[in-house]
Amino acid sequence: MDKLNRDELYSLEKYAKIRDEFRARVMAHKKNRQLAIGPHATLYFEDRLTMQYQVQEMLRAERIFEAAGIEEELAVYNSLIPDGSNWKATFMLEYTDVEERKVALASLCGVEKQLWMRVNGLAPVTPIADEDLERENGGKTSSVHFLRFELTGDMVAALKRGASVAAGSSHPFYDFTVDPIPGNIRRSLFNDLD
């Protein structure tokens, strides 16, 4: 999947005109790219469109219009676009109650490394998590992690033949499985592969 470049982004003025329409299109797209793992965790699978939206929103919020600033944003968000042999996701632990969240984050250290995805008939793959930054400190995990699930050639070939996909968490305090993942999500993730 190609990375974004500056020439493909909307100017702040143009984005202001089309923002509502663009946002509606992206939100509809994202519905096919989010997977709940149990009641408090969600994988939000990223792609070129979701990252273009993130970049456009950051440029808008920060009023960034100079080339150097735009390139900095692209460098950050392009790293979350799949490379053709992987799935990239933002993993969020979602607890509305503040006290419950504190307890959960303290007990879920390492959960991001115990997530998995499995193409039917093959061994599960665990993610490479938070490659550029440390997301645990003080005996608790972060509520947001950035993941890369690297797929083998056999996995991609099986997906092309129609194999189903399962996902889950094997953390002792958060053990959930989704088998199979919904078809709309599988189809969307299939489009991330070469």
Q: What is the pLDDT of residues 142-162, one digit of tens each?
A: 999 999 999 999 999 999 999
pLDDT value at residue 134: 57
Q: Mean pLDDT across the stretch 163-172?
A: 98
Q: Determine the Cα–Cα distance for residues 189 and 150; give it in Å rounded to an integer.
A: 13
pLDDT value at residue 177: 98
pLDDT value at residue 130: 83
Residue-wise burial string across 66-98, b where 16 or more C-beta atoms lie within 10 A, e elsewhere: eeeebeebbeebebbbbeeebbbbbbebebeee
Between 156 and 1, name the one with better pLDDT. Answer: 156
pLDDT band at 139 (very low <50, low <70, confident <90, very high): confident
Say if residues 142 and 105 touch (Cβ distance below 8 Å): yes
Q: Mean pLDDT across the stretch 41-55?
A: 97
Question: Is pLDDT of 52 > 60?
Answer: yes
Q: Determine the Cα–Cα distance for residues 127 and 167; give it in Å rounded to an integer.
A: 11
Q: What is the pLDDT of residues 113-127, one digit of tens each?
A: 999 999 999 999 999
Q: Determine the Cα–Cα distance for residues 7 and 15; give it in Å rounded to an integer.
A: 13
pLDDT value at residue 131: 74
Q: What is the pLDDT of residues 58-92, one digit of tens each?
A: 999 999 999 999 999 999 999 999 999 999 999 99
- What mean pLDDT, rounded, does the chain reach? 94
Q: Decide the pairing of beta strands 144-150 and 174-178.
A: unpaired
Q: Residues near 37 by Cβ (< 8 Å), separated by ≥ 6?
A: 43, 115, 167, 168, 169, 176, 178
pLDDT value at residue 28: 98
Structure tokens at 176: 């959930």
pLDDT value at residue 132: 65
% of the chain beyond a pLDDT of 70: 96
% of the chain beyond a pLDDT of 90: 92
Question: Is pLDDT of 135 > 60?
Answer: no
